[in-house]
Amino acid sequence: MSVNKSASTAAVGALSLALLLSACSGNNGNNGNNGSNAAAPSPSESASSAQMSPAASPSESASESPSSASDGSLAAKVKPVTFSLFVNYDWYTAPTWEERPHAKWITDNLKVTLEPVQSNGAAAQKLNTMIVSNQLPDVIVLDRGKDVERLQQAGKLVALDPYLEKYPEYVEAVGEQTLNMLRSSDGKLYQLPNWFINGENGNGNAAYIVEKKIYKELGSPSLETWEDLEAYLKLVKEKFPDVVPLDFGEIRDGTDVQMMGMLYTGSGENLNNGFITPGNTFGIPSGDKLTSIYQDQGFKDTAVYSSRLFRQGLTSSDMFTQTRDQILEKLKTGKIAVFGAYDSVVEGIGREANNLLKAKDPEDGYLPIWPVHKAGVDRNKVYPGGYNTLGWNVNVITTNAKDPEAIFSYMNWASSPEGQQIIFFGPPGLFYDTVEDGVPIPNDAYINRDPKKYDELKIGEFNWNGNTSYVDSTKAKRELLLPEEAQDWTTVAQANFSFKTSMDVTQFSNLDPAPSTQEGIIMQRLRDQYKALIPKLIFAKTDDEVLSLIEKADKEATKIGYDKLLAWKTDVWQANVKKLSGQ
Protein backbone atom coordinates (compact mmCIF):
# COMPACT_ATOMS: atom_id res chain seq x y z
CA MET A 1 0.00 0.00 0.00
CA SER A 2 1.33 3.38 -0.89
CA VAL A 3 0.54 5.76 1.94
CA ASN A 4 0.27 9.31 0.69
CA LYS A 5 -1.11 12.66 1.63
CA SER A 6 -4.65 11.61 0.92
CA ALA A 7 -4.47 8.50 3.09
CA SER A 8 -6.26 10.00 6.07
CA THR A 9 -8.97 11.47 3.91
CA ALA A 10 -9.49 8.17 2.15
CA ALA A 11 -9.65 6.35 5.45
CA VAL A 12 -12.39 8.59 6.77
CA GLY A 13 -14.16 8.61 3.44
CA ALA A 14 -14.34 4.83 3.51
CA LEU A 15 -15.67 4.83 7.06
CA SER A 16 -19.33 4.28 6.30
CA LEU A 17 -18.77 1.14 4.25
CA ALA A 18 -15.97 -0.17 6.45
CA LEU A 19 -17.93 0.25 9.67
CA LEU A 20 -20.93 -1.49 8.24
CA LEU A 21 -18.74 -4.36 7.08
CA SER A 22 -16.93 -4.60 10.42
CA ALA A 23 -20.08 -4.40 12.52
CA CYS A 24 -21.49 -7.65 13.77
CA SER A 25 -24.97 -8.12 15.11
CA GLY A 26 -25.41 -6.40 18.46
CA ASN A 27 -29.20 -6.29 18.42
CA ASN A 28 -30.50 -6.90 21.89
CA GLY A 29 -34.10 -6.32 21.03
CA ASN A 30 -34.17 -2.66 22.04
CA ASN A 31 -36.31 -0.54 19.80
CA GLY A 32 -37.36 3.07 19.95
CA ASN A 33 -35.72 3.73 23.28
CA ASN A 34 -36.58 7.28 24.27
CA GLY A 35 -34.67 8.75 27.17
CA SER A 36 -35.01 11.74 29.42
CA ASN A 37 -34.38 15.25 28.23
CA ALA A 38 -32.08 16.14 31.08
CA ALA A 39 -29.29 18.51 30.07
CA ALA A 40 -25.99 16.70 29.55
CA PRO A 41 -22.93 18.00 31.40
CA SER A 42 -20.16 19.58 29.39
CA PRO A 43 -17.34 17.14 28.62
CA SER A 44 -15.00 19.53 30.38
CA GLU A 45 -16.81 19.03 33.66
CA SER A 46 -15.27 16.58 36.09
CA ALA A 47 -16.87 13.18 36.52
CA SER A 48 -17.67 13.98 40.12
CA SER A 49 -19.58 17.14 39.27
CA ALA A 50 -21.45 15.76 36.26
CA GLN A 51 -25.16 15.30 36.87
CA MET A 52 -25.98 11.70 36.15
CA SER A 53 -29.36 10.50 34.98
CA PRO A 54 -31.00 7.80 37.08
CA ALA A 55 -30.28 4.22 36.19
CA ALA A 56 -31.16 3.06 32.71
CA SER A 57 -32.19 -0.20 31.20
CA PRO A 58 -31.61 -0.53 27.44
CA SER A 59 -35.07 -2.01 27.16
CA GLU A 60 -36.71 1.00 28.77
CA SER A 61 -36.31 4.76 28.75
CA ALA A 62 -32.92 6.13 29.73
CA SER A 63 -34.46 7.74 32.78
CA GLU A 64 -35.83 4.53 34.23
CA SER A 65 -33.91 2.77 36.99
CA PRO A 66 -33.09 -0.94 36.89
CA SER A 67 -35.11 -1.58 40.01
CA SER A 68 -38.24 -0.27 38.34
CA ALA A 69 -37.43 -1.65 34.92
CA SER A 70 -39.21 -4.57 33.32
CA ASP A 71 -38.65 -8.13 34.51
CA GLY A 72 -36.27 -8.56 31.56
CA SER A 73 -33.77 -6.09 32.99
CA LEU A 74 -30.54 -7.76 34.04
CA ALA A 75 -29.85 -4.85 36.38
CA ALA A 76 -32.73 -6.09 38.51
CA LYS A 77 -30.88 -9.39 39.03
CA VAL A 78 -27.67 -7.75 40.29
CA LYS A 79 -27.03 -8.32 43.99
CA PRO A 80 -25.36 -5.49 45.95
CA VAL A 81 -21.68 -6.24 46.56
CA THR A 82 -18.29 -4.66 47.14
CA PHE A 83 -15.44 -6.74 45.81
CA SER A 84 -11.70 -6.41 45.32
CA LEU A 85 -10.14 -6.99 41.90
CA PHE A 86 -6.50 -7.58 40.93
CA VAL A 87 -5.32 -7.27 37.32
CA ASN A 88 -2.31 -9.55 36.85
CA TYR A 89 -0.23 -7.33 34.57
CA ASP A 90 2.88 -5.31 35.43
CA TRP A 91 1.90 -2.49 33.09
CA TYR A 92 -1.62 -1.91 34.40
CA THR A 93 -2.37 0.71 37.04
CA ALA A 94 -6.04 1.06 37.90
CA PRO A 95 -7.53 4.53 38.22
CA THR A 96 -9.88 5.36 41.06
CA TRP A 97 -13.29 3.72 40.80
CA GLU A 98 -15.46 6.45 42.29
CA GLU A 99 -14.24 9.21 39.95
CA ARG A 100 -15.30 7.40 36.78
CA PRO A 101 -18.79 8.50 35.68
CA HIS A 102 -19.90 4.98 34.74
CA ALA A 103 -18.48 3.54 37.95
CA LYS A 104 -20.35 6.13 40.01
CA TRP A 105 -23.52 5.18 38.17
CA ILE A 106 -22.94 1.49 38.96
CA THR A 107 -22.38 2.21 42.65
CA ASP A 108 -25.35 4.57 42.92
CA ASN A 109 -27.80 2.39 41.02
CA LEU A 110 -26.64 -1.21 41.38
CA LYS A 111 -24.98 -0.86 44.78
CA VAL A 112 -21.83 -2.47 43.39
CA THR A 113 -18.37 -1.12 44.17
CA LEU A 114 -15.08 -2.39 42.79
CA GLU A 115 -11.91 -1.97 44.86
CA PRO A 116 -8.75 -2.20 42.70
CA VAL A 117 -5.66 -3.98 44.02
CA GLN A 118 -2.57 -2.54 42.33
CA SER A 119 0.29 -4.67 40.99
CA ASN A 120 2.82 -1.84 41.49
CA GLY A 121 4.69 -3.03 38.42
CA ALA A 122 5.35 -6.52 39.82
CA ALA A 123 2.24 -8.55 39.13
CA ALA A 124 3.75 -12.05 39.36
CA GLN A 125 5.39 -11.33 42.69
CA LYS A 126 2.21 -9.71 44.00
CA LEU A 127 0.08 -12.69 42.96
CA ASN A 128 2.51 -15.18 44.53
CA THR A 129 2.56 -13.21 47.77
CA MET A 130 -1.24 -13.15 47.93
CA ILE A 131 -1.40 -16.91 47.27
CA VAL A 132 1.17 -17.77 49.95
CA SER A 133 -0.44 -15.49 52.54
CA ASN A 134 -3.94 -16.67 51.60
CA GLN A 135 -4.96 -13.07 51.04
CA LEU A 136 -6.25 -13.35 47.51
CA PRO A 137 -8.59 -10.65 46.21
CA ASP A 138 -12.18 -11.56 45.40
CA VAL A 139 -11.56 -11.42 41.64
CA ILE A 140 -8.42 -11.79 39.53
CA VAL A 141 -8.11 -10.77 35.89
CA LEU A 142 -5.35 -12.76 34.21
CA ASP A 143 -4.35 -14.62 31.09
CA ARG A 144 -5.83 -18.01 30.37
CA GLY A 145 -3.54 -20.93 31.08
CA LYS A 146 -1.03 -21.87 33.71
CA ASP A 147 -1.92 -19.39 36.45
CA VAL A 148 -5.61 -20.20 36.22
CA GLU A 149 -4.89 -23.93 36.42
CA ARG A 150 -2.45 -23.43 39.28
CA LEU A 151 -5.09 -21.58 41.29
CA GLN A 152 -7.77 -24.13 40.41
CA GLN A 153 -5.63 -27.10 41.39
CA ALA A 154 -4.84 -25.39 44.69
CA GLY A 155 -8.56 -25.11 45.41
CA LYS A 156 -8.51 -21.31 45.30
CA LEU A 157 -11.21 -20.78 42.66
CA VAL A 158 -14.99 -20.94 42.73
CA ALA A 159 -16.63 -23.30 40.23
CA LEU A 160 -19.18 -21.20 38.37
CA ASP A 161 -21.41 -23.85 36.77
CA PRO A 162 -24.27 -23.48 39.31
CA TYR A 163 -24.67 -19.82 38.34
CA LEU A 164 -25.06 -20.59 34.65
CA GLU A 165 -28.48 -22.11 35.36
CA LYS A 166 -29.59 -19.16 37.50
CA TYR A 167 -28.27 -16.63 34.99
CA PRO A 168 -28.91 -18.15 31.54
CA GLU A 169 -28.43 -14.74 29.95
CA TYR A 170 -24.69 -15.15 30.48
CA VAL A 171 -24.55 -18.34 28.41
CA GLU A 172 -26.59 -16.63 25.71
CA ALA A 173 -24.26 -13.61 25.64
CA VAL A 174 -20.97 -15.53 25.61
CA GLY A 175 -21.93 -18.70 23.77
CA GLU A 176 -21.90 -22.27 25.06
CA GLN A 177 -19.06 -23.30 22.74
CA THR A 178 -16.82 -20.55 24.13
CA LEU A 179 -17.58 -21.52 27.72
CA ASN A 180 -16.85 -25.18 26.99
CA MET A 181 -13.45 -24.21 25.57
CA LEU A 182 -12.70 -22.53 28.91
CA ARG A 183 -13.46 -25.53 31.11
CA SER A 184 -10.66 -27.00 33.20
CA SER A 185 -9.50 -30.61 33.12
CA ASP A 186 -12.11 -31.55 35.75
CA GLY A 187 -14.86 -30.41 33.39
CA LYS A 188 -15.87 -27.42 35.51
CA LEU A 189 -15.91 -23.74 34.59
CA TYR A 190 -13.73 -21.46 36.73
CA GLN A 191 -13.01 -18.60 34.32
CA LEU A 192 -15.14 -16.01 32.54
CA PRO A 193 -13.92 -14.39 29.33
CA ASN A 194 -13.16 -10.72 28.83
CA TRP A 195 -13.71 -9.24 25.36
CA PHE A 196 -15.22 -12.48 24.08
CA ILE A 197 -16.59 -12.64 20.54
CA ASN A 198 -19.96 -14.24 19.89
CA GLY A 199 -20.56 -13.56 16.22
CA GLU A 200 -19.05 -13.85 12.78
CA ASN A 201 -16.74 -10.81 12.80
CA GLY A 202 -13.46 -10.51 14.65
CA ASN A 203 -11.51 -7.55 15.90
CA GLY A 204 -8.03 -6.38 16.79
CA ASN A 205 -6.02 -3.33 17.80
CA ALA A 206 -2.59 -4.09 16.34
CA ALA A 207 -1.39 -1.56 13.80
CA TYR A 208 1.38 0.74 12.68
CA ILE A 209 0.80 4.48 13.05
CA VAL A 210 2.93 7.36 11.72
CA GLU A 211 3.44 10.87 13.06
CA LYS A 212 1.44 12.95 10.60
CA LYS A 213 3.47 16.18 10.43
CA ILE A 214 6.78 14.37 10.07
CA TYR A 215 5.34 12.10 7.41
CA LYS A 216 3.97 15.00 5.37
CA GLU A 217 7.18 17.02 5.69
CA LEU A 218 9.16 14.08 4.33
CA GLY A 219 6.94 13.88 1.27
CA SER A 220 4.46 11.17 2.33
CA PRO A 221 6.47 8.37 0.71
CA SER A 222 5.22 4.83 0.16
CA LEU A 223 5.35 2.73 3.33
CA GLU A 224 4.49 -0.75 2.19
CA THR A 225 7.55 -2.99 2.31
CA TRP A 226 10.38 -3.45 4.79
CA GLU A 227 12.62 -1.68 2.29
CA ASP A 228 10.22 1.28 2.15
CA LEU A 229 10.16 1.48 5.92
CA GLU A 230 13.93 1.32 6.29
CA ALA A 231 14.45 4.08 3.73
CA TYR A 232 11.88 6.26 5.50
CA LEU A 233 13.45 5.70 8.90
CA LYS A 234 16.80 6.84 7.55
CA LEU A 235 15.16 10.06 6.35
CA VAL A 236 13.64 10.61 9.77
CA LYS A 237 16.98 10.09 11.48
CA GLU A 238 18.63 12.59 9.15
CA LYS A 239 15.97 15.32 9.26
CA PHE A 240 14.65 14.85 12.81
CA PRO A 241 17.58 13.76 15.02
CA ASP A 242 15.57 14.24 18.24
CA VAL A 243 12.86 11.80 17.11
CA VAL A 244 12.91 8.00 17.50
CA PRO A 245 12.44 6.79 13.91
CA LEU A 246 10.76 3.50 14.86
CA ASP A 247 9.45 2.29 18.18
CA PHE A 248 7.22 -0.48 19.44
CA GLY A 249 5.02 -1.32 22.41
CA GLU A 250 6.43 -2.43 25.75
CA ILE A 251 7.86 -5.88 26.29
CA ARG A 252 5.23 -8.13 27.82
CA ASP A 253 5.75 -10.93 30.32
CA GLY A 254 9.50 -10.47 29.96
CA THR A 255 9.66 -12.33 26.65
CA ASP A 256 7.10 -10.88 24.22
CA VAL A 257 9.17 -8.34 22.29
CA GLN A 258 6.65 -6.45 20.20
CA MET A 259 9.25 -5.38 17.65
CA MET A 260 9.83 -9.03 16.77
CA GLY A 261 6.15 -9.93 16.99
CA MET A 262 4.89 -7.09 14.79
CA LEU A 263 7.60 -7.41 12.14
CA TYR A 264 7.32 -11.21 12.07
CA THR A 265 3.75 -11.03 10.81
CA GLY A 266 5.05 -9.23 7.72
CA SER A 267 7.73 -11.84 6.98
CA GLY A 268 5.23 -14.11 5.26
CA GLU A 269 1.55 -14.78 4.75
CA ASN A 270 -1.02 -15.86 7.35
CA LEU A 271 1.37 -15.45 10.28
CA ASN A 272 0.59 -14.34 13.82
CA ASN A 273 2.89 -12.94 16.49
CA GLY A 274 1.82 -15.70 18.87
CA PHE A 275 3.59 -18.27 16.70
CA ILE A 276 6.97 -17.02 17.97
CA THR A 277 5.95 -16.01 21.49
CA PRO A 278 6.61 -18.14 24.60
CA GLY A 279 3.42 -18.49 26.59
CA ASN A 280 1.48 -18.49 23.35
CA THR A 281 1.60 -20.92 20.42
CA PHE A 282 5.42 -20.85 20.28
CA GLY A 283 5.42 -23.06 17.22
CA ILE A 284 4.95 -22.62 13.50
CA PRO A 285 1.91 -24.36 11.93
CA SER A 286 3.05 -26.65 9.14
CA GLY A 287 0.28 -28.88 7.87
CA ASP A 288 -1.23 -30.49 10.97
CA LYS A 289 1.89 -30.10 13.11
CA LEU A 290 3.66 -27.31 15.00
CA THR A 291 7.36 -26.92 14.21
CA SER A 292 10.32 -25.08 15.75
CA ILE A 293 10.46 -21.31 15.43
CA TYR A 294 14.25 -21.57 15.13
CA GLN A 295 13.93 -23.44 11.85
CA ASP A 296 11.40 -20.98 10.44
CA GLN A 297 12.64 -18.70 7.65
CA GLY A 298 10.27 -15.93 8.67
CA PHE A 299 11.70 -15.85 12.18
CA LYS A 300 15.23 -15.72 10.82
CA ASP A 301 14.36 -12.92 8.38
CA THR A 302 12.65 -10.95 11.13
CA ALA A 303 15.61 -11.26 13.49
CA VAL A 304 18.06 -10.17 10.78
CA TYR A 305 15.90 -7.18 9.79
CA SER A 306 15.29 -6.10 13.41
CA SER A 307 19.00 -6.30 14.22
CA ARG A 308 19.90 -4.28 11.14
CA LEU A 309 17.46 -1.52 12.09
CA PHE A 310 18.91 -1.40 15.60
CA ARG A 311 22.52 -1.31 14.35
CA GLN A 312 21.69 1.70 12.20
CA GLY A 313 20.13 3.57 15.12
CA LEU A 314 16.68 3.47 13.52
CA THR A 315 14.82 2.16 16.56
CA SER A 316 14.75 2.80 20.28
CA SER A 317 17.99 2.16 22.16
CA ASP A 318 16.07 1.36 25.35
CA MET A 319 13.47 -0.99 23.89
CA PHE A 320 14.17 -3.65 26.50
CA THR A 321 13.75 -1.36 29.50
CA GLN A 322 11.21 1.32 28.61
CA THR A 323 7.78 1.20 30.23
CA ARG A 324 4.39 1.73 28.67
CA ASP A 325 4.13 5.15 30.33
CA GLN A 326 7.50 6.20 28.90
CA ILE A 327 6.44 5.12 25.42
CA LEU A 328 3.18 7.04 25.76
CA GLU A 329 5.04 10.19 26.78
CA LYS A 330 7.14 9.99 23.59
CA LEU A 331 4.01 9.48 21.51
CA LYS A 332 2.22 12.41 23.16
CA THR A 333 5.06 14.73 22.20
CA GLY A 334 5.32 13.40 18.64
CA LYS A 335 8.79 11.99 19.28
CA ILE A 336 8.12 8.65 17.59
CA ALA A 337 7.90 8.78 13.80
CA VAL A 338 6.56 5.25 13.26
CA PHE A 339 5.01 3.19 16.04
CA GLY A 340 3.86 -0.42 16.03
CA ALA A 341 2.11 -2.28 18.84
CA TYR A 342 -0.46 -4.97 19.49
CA ASP A 343 -2.79 -2.26 20.84
CA SER A 344 -1.55 0.89 19.14
CA VAL A 345 -5.02 2.20 18.24
CA VAL A 346 -6.66 1.87 21.66
CA GLU A 347 -7.70 4.67 23.98
CA GLY A 348 -4.67 4.75 26.26
CA ILE A 349 -1.99 4.76 23.56
CA GLY A 350 -2.59 5.85 19.98
CA ARG A 351 -5.84 7.71 20.51
CA GLU A 352 -4.60 9.62 23.53
CA ALA A 353 -1.44 10.69 21.72
CA ASN A 354 -3.33 11.59 18.54
CA ASN A 355 -5.95 13.62 20.36
CA LEU A 356 -3.37 15.50 22.41
CA LEU A 357 -1.27 16.43 19.36
CA LYS A 358 -4.35 17.36 17.35
CA ALA A 359 -5.61 19.59 20.17
CA LYS A 360 -2.39 21.59 19.89
CA ASP A 361 -2.30 21.57 16.09
CA PRO A 362 -5.26 20.37 13.96
CA GLU A 363 -2.79 19.25 11.27
CA ASP A 364 -0.87 17.03 13.67
CA GLY A 365 -1.58 13.60 15.14
CA TYR A 366 -1.00 9.97 14.23
CA LEU A 367 -2.13 8.27 11.04
CA PRO A 368 -2.70 4.48 10.83
CA ILE A 369 -1.13 2.71 7.87
CA TRP A 370 -1.41 -0.76 6.37
CA PRO A 371 1.05 -3.19 8.00
CA VAL A 372 4.51 -3.27 6.43
CA HIS A 373 5.82 -6.55 5.03
CA LYS A 374 8.58 -8.17 3.02
CA ALA A 375 8.55 -7.57 -0.70
CA GLY A 376 6.53 -10.22 -2.48
CA VAL A 377 4.20 -10.93 0.45
CA ASP A 378 0.48 -10.49 -0.29
CA ARG A 379 -0.53 -7.39 1.69
CA ASN A 380 -4.00 -8.85 2.23
CA LYS A 381 -2.53 -11.83 4.09
CA VAL A 382 -0.54 -9.85 6.66
CA TYR A 383 -2.05 -10.05 10.14
CA PRO A 384 -0.26 -8.13 12.92
CA GLY A 385 -3.33 -8.69 15.07
CA GLY A 386 -5.04 -11.83 16.25
CA TYR A 387 -8.40 -12.30 17.86
CA ASN A 388 -9.74 -15.15 19.90
CA THR A 389 -13.44 -15.80 20.34
CA LEU A 390 -12.51 -16.70 23.91
CA GLY A 391 -11.46 -13.09 24.35
CA TRP A 392 -8.33 -11.40 25.59
CA ASN A 393 -8.11 -12.74 29.15
CA VAL A 394 -10.36 -14.06 31.91
CA ASN A 395 -11.91 -13.29 35.28
CA VAL A 396 -11.77 -15.79 38.11
CA ILE A 397 -13.61 -15.53 41.42
CA THR A 398 -11.52 -16.76 44.33
CA THR A 399 -12.68 -18.73 47.35
CA ASN A 400 -11.86 -15.66 49.45
CA ALA A 401 -14.95 -13.94 48.04
CA LYS A 402 -17.72 -13.77 50.65
CA ASP A 403 -20.53 -13.69 48.09
CA PRO A 404 -19.38 -15.14 44.77
CA GLU A 405 -22.90 -15.26 43.38
CA ALA A 406 -23.30 -11.51 43.89
CA ILE A 407 -20.08 -10.95 41.94
CA PHE A 408 -21.30 -13.27 39.19
CA SER A 409 -24.62 -11.43 39.05
CA TYR A 410 -22.70 -8.21 38.39
CA MET A 411 -20.56 -9.88 35.70
CA ASN A 412 -23.73 -11.26 34.12
CA TRP A 413 -25.05 -7.70 33.82
CA ALA A 414 -21.67 -6.20 32.89
CA SER A 415 -21.19 -8.67 30.01
CA SER A 416 -24.61 -7.99 28.53
CA PRO A 417 -25.49 -5.21 26.06
CA GLU A 418 -27.34 -3.57 28.96
CA GLY A 419 -24.21 -3.39 31.08
CA GLN A 420 -21.82 -2.64 28.23
CA GLN A 421 -23.92 0.36 27.28
CA ILE A 422 -23.22 1.95 30.66
CA ILE A 423 -19.61 0.83 31.04
CA PHE A 424 -18.39 1.59 27.52
CA PHE A 425 -20.54 4.54 26.47
CA GLY A 426 -21.11 6.06 29.89
CA PRO A 427 -24.30 6.65 31.85
CA PRO A 428 -27.33 8.19 30.11
CA GLY A 429 -27.54 11.95 30.28
CA LEU A 430 -23.79 12.47 29.89
CA PHE A 431 -22.91 11.92 26.23
CA TYR A 432 -26.22 10.49 25.06
CA ASP A 433 -29.81 11.02 26.16
CA THR A 434 -31.63 8.42 24.09
CA VAL A 435 -30.99 4.89 22.85
CA GLU A 436 -32.43 3.78 19.52
CA ASP A 437 -32.17 0.20 18.27
CA GLY A 438 -29.54 -0.43 20.93
CA VAL A 439 -27.37 2.53 19.89
CA PRO A 440 -26.72 5.43 22.31
CA ILE A 441 -27.48 8.49 20.18
CA PRO A 442 -24.65 11.06 20.55
CA ASN A 443 -25.80 14.34 22.01
CA ASP A 444 -24.24 17.78 21.61
CA ALA A 445 -21.89 17.14 24.54
CA TYR A 446 -20.36 14.19 22.69
CA ILE A 447 -20.35 15.78 19.24
CA ASN A 448 -18.63 18.90 20.58
CA ARG A 449 -16.45 17.11 23.12
CA ASP A 450 -12.87 18.08 23.81
CA PRO A 451 -11.12 14.75 22.98
CA LYS A 452 -8.42 15.29 25.57
CA LYS A 453 -10.88 16.00 28.38
CA TYR A 454 -13.09 13.16 27.21
CA ASP A 455 -10.16 10.75 27.50
CA GLU A 456 -9.46 12.02 31.01
CA LEU A 457 -12.89 10.77 32.12
CA LYS A 458 -11.68 7.24 31.26
CA ILE A 459 -15.12 6.04 30.29
CA GLY A 460 -14.76 2.35 29.55
CA GLU A 461 -12.19 1.76 32.27
CA PHE A 462 -12.83 -1.30 34.45
CA ASN A 463 -14.48 -3.07 31.53
CA TRP A 464 -13.10 -6.49 32.40
CA ASN A 465 -16.25 -8.17 31.10
CA GLY A 466 -16.02 -6.79 27.58
CA ASN A 467 -18.55 -7.96 24.98
CA THR A 468 -16.71 -7.41 21.71
CA SER A 469 -19.62 -8.14 19.40
CA TYR A 470 -21.88 -5.61 21.10
CA VAL A 471 -19.30 -2.86 21.55
CA ASP A 472 -17.80 -3.05 18.06
CA SER A 473 -21.12 -3.11 16.25
CA THR A 474 -22.69 -0.41 18.43
CA LYS A 475 -19.82 2.06 18.29
CA ALA A 476 -19.61 1.52 14.52
CA LYS A 477 -23.28 2.39 14.15
CA ARG A 478 -22.81 5.39 16.46
CA GLU A 479 -19.96 6.78 14.37
CA LEU A 480 -22.17 6.79 11.27
CA LEU A 481 -24.37 9.33 13.05
CA LEU A 482 -21.50 11.78 13.58
CA PRO A 483 -20.00 14.46 11.36
CA GLU A 484 -16.51 13.61 10.12
CA GLU A 485 -14.75 15.94 12.53
CA ALA A 486 -16.46 14.31 15.51
CA GLN A 487 -15.73 10.71 14.57
CA ASP A 488 -13.63 8.71 17.00
CA TRP A 489 -10.02 8.15 15.90
CA THR A 490 -9.89 4.65 17.40
CA THR A 491 -13.08 3.51 15.70
CA VAL A 492 -11.93 4.80 12.32
CA ALA A 493 -8.52 3.15 12.74
CA GLN A 494 -10.09 -0.14 13.73
CA ALA A 495 -12.62 -0.17 10.90
CA ASN A 496 -10.14 0.66 8.17
CA PHE A 497 -6.98 -1.03 9.43
CA SER A 498 -6.70 -3.13 12.59
CA PHE A 499 -9.93 -5.11 12.23
CA LYS A 500 -9.09 -5.92 8.63
CA THR A 501 -5.59 -7.13 9.50
CA SER A 502 -6.45 -9.43 12.40
CA MET A 503 -6.76 -13.20 12.12
CA ASP A 504 -8.80 -15.72 14.10
CA VAL A 505 -6.42 -17.63 16.38
CA THR A 506 -9.01 -19.37 18.56
CA GLN A 507 -7.74 -22.77 17.44
CA PHE A 508 -4.40 -22.02 19.14
CA SER A 509 -5.95 -21.56 22.60
CA ASN A 510 -4.72 -23.27 25.78
CA LEU A 511 -1.27 -24.14 24.43
CA ASP A 512 0.61 -23.09 27.56
CA PRO A 513 1.17 -26.19 29.74
CA ALA A 514 0.75 -26.22 33.50
CA PRO A 515 4.07 -25.33 35.19
CA SER A 516 4.27 -28.50 37.26
CA THR A 517 4.02 -30.85 34.27
CA GLN A 518 6.99 -32.13 32.30
CA GLU A 519 5.92 -29.99 29.36
CA GLY A 520 5.55 -27.00 31.67
CA ILE A 521 9.09 -27.44 32.97
CA ILE A 522 10.40 -27.67 29.41
CA MET A 523 8.41 -24.57 28.48
CA GLN A 524 9.91 -22.58 31.33
CA ARG A 525 13.44 -23.52 30.27
CA LEU A 526 12.63 -22.57 26.67
CA ARG A 527 11.12 -19.32 27.88
CA ASP A 528 14.31 -18.48 29.77
CA GLN A 529 16.37 -19.38 26.72
CA TYR A 530 14.25 -17.17 24.46
CA LYS A 531 14.38 -14.27 26.92
CA ALA A 532 18.18 -14.37 26.87
CA LEU A 533 18.36 -14.91 23.11
CA ILE A 534 16.29 -12.03 21.73
CA PRO A 535 18.48 -9.18 23.07
CA LYS A 536 21.53 -10.98 21.65
CA LEU A 537 19.85 -11.14 18.25
CA ILE A 538 18.93 -7.47 18.29
CA PHE A 539 22.37 -6.36 19.52
CA ALA A 540 24.28 -8.61 17.10
CA LYS A 541 26.97 -6.86 15.06
CA THR A 542 26.29 -8.62 11.75
CA ASP A 543 23.57 -10.56 9.95
CA ASP A 544 25.77 -13.65 10.06
CA GLU A 545 26.01 -13.39 13.83
CA VAL A 546 22.20 -13.31 14.06
CA LEU A 547 21.88 -16.49 12.02
CA SER A 548 24.65 -18.19 13.98
CA LEU A 549 22.89 -17.40 17.26
CA ILE A 550 19.61 -18.85 15.93
CA GLU A 551 21.35 -22.02 14.76
CA LYS A 552 22.90 -22.45 18.19
CA ALA A 553 19.55 -21.78 19.90
CA ASP A 554 17.90 -24.44 17.74
CA LYS A 555 20.35 -27.10 18.94
CA GLU A 556 19.99 -26.00 22.57
CA ALA A 557 16.18 -26.06 22.32
CA THR A 558 16.26 -29.61 21.00
CA LYS A 559 18.36 -30.70 24.00
CA ILE A 560 15.90 -28.97 26.36
CA GLY A 561 13.02 -30.95 24.88
CA TYR A 562 11.39 -28.56 22.40
CA ASP A 563 10.33 -31.49 20.18
CA LYS A 564 8.43 -33.09 23.08
CA LEU A 565 6.73 -29.77 23.87
CA LEU A 566 5.77 -29.25 20.21
CA ALA A 567 4.21 -32.73 20.13
CA TRP A 568 2.10 -31.84 23.20
CA LYS A 569 1.10 -28.48 21.72
CA THR A 570 0.20 -30.14 18.43
CA ASP A 571 -2.13 -32.58 20.21
CA VAL A 572 -3.90 -29.75 22.07
CA TRP A 573 -4.14 -27.69 18.88
CA GLN A 574 -5.67 -30.54 16.89
CA ALA A 575 -8.12 -31.24 19.74
CA ASN A 576 -9.16 -27.58 19.59
CA VAL A 577 -9.70 -27.84 15.86
CA LYS A 578 -12.04 -30.79 16.42
CA LYS A 579 -13.95 -28.97 19.18
CA LEU A 580 -14.42 -25.89 17.02
CA SER A 581 -15.66 -28.00 14.13
CA GLY A 582 -18.24 -29.65 16.38
CA GLN A 583 -16.54 -33.05 16.54
Span 207-275+285-386: which CATH code?
A: 3.40.190.10
What residues contact residue 554 under an 8 Å CB cut-off, 6+ apart?
Answer: 292, 294, 295
Backbone φ/ψ region at 359: left (φ over 0), alpha (ψ -120 to 50), beta:
alpha
The pTM (predicted TM-score) of the whole model is 0.71
Cα(177)–Cα(175) distance, rounded to whole angstroms? 6
Same fold, 9-63+76-200+389-500 and 207-275+285-386: yes
Q: Are 443 and 452 in contact (CB under 8 A)?
A: no
Q: Which helix (H) or strand (E) holds 247?
A: strand 244-248
CATH architecture of 9-63+76-200+389-500: 3-Layer(aba) Sandwich (3.40)
Domain ranges of the chain: 9-63+76-200+389-500, 207-275+285-386, 518-580
DSSP 280-325: S--SEEETTEEE-GGG-HHHHHHHHHHHHHHHTT-B-TTTTT--HH
User: How many residues are given for the chain?
Assistant: 583
pLDDT tens, the chain, 583 aa long: 333 433 333 333 333 333 333 333 233 333 332 233 223 222 233 333 333 333 333 333 333 333 333 446 899 999 999 999 999 999 899 999 999 999 999 999 999 999 999 999 999 999 999 999 999 999 999 999 889 989 999 999 999 999 999 999 999 999 988 998 899 989 999 999 999 998 777 889 999 999 999 999 999 999 999 999 999 999 999 999 999 999 999 998 889 999 999 999 999 999 999 999 998 999 999 999 999 999 999 999 999 999 999 999 999 999 999 999 999 999 999 999 999 999 999 878 999 999 999 999 999 999 999 999 999 999 999 999 999 899 999 999 999 999 999 999 999 999 999 999 999 999 999 999 999 999 999 999 999 999 889 989 999 999 999 999 999 889 888 988 888 888 889 989 998 999 999 999 999 998 989 888 999 999 999 999 999 999 999 999 999 999 999 999 999 999 999 999 999 999 999 999 988 876 5
Helices (H), 68-120: 101-110
